[in-house]
Amino acid sequence: MSSPIYATQDPYLASFLLSQGAVLVGHTRLAPKRVEFRFLTSEGLHQLLRLYWSRRHILVVPAELFDALRKFKSRS
């Protein structure tokens, strides 16, 4: 049985998740400028999602966040 995955088409959310250590398991191009990003589901991923949507201020390493965003934009 395969592990459950979380999918999003939001490149900013995907960049945040990747920069915070979430495990990217794949991506699929859905349209010329639309990509679905898939992450391994875990308690840590759910915590990151809650944190992202809570709009609370947190410390992030800008270089890691923007590197993740560049990586995803090169795929879309």
The reported pLDDT for the residue numbered 75 is 63
Kindly report the average pLDDT of the chain as a whole number: 89
Write out the chain's pLDDT in tens, 76 residues. Answer: 567 999 999 999 999 999 999 999 999 999 888 889 999 999 999 999 999 999 888 888 889 888 888 887 776 5
The reported pLDDT for the residue numbered 22 is 94
* Burial group, residue 9, by CB count within 10 angstroms (0-12, 13-18, 19+): middle
- In 3D, which of 1, 6, 9, 14 has the Cα closest to residue 70? 14
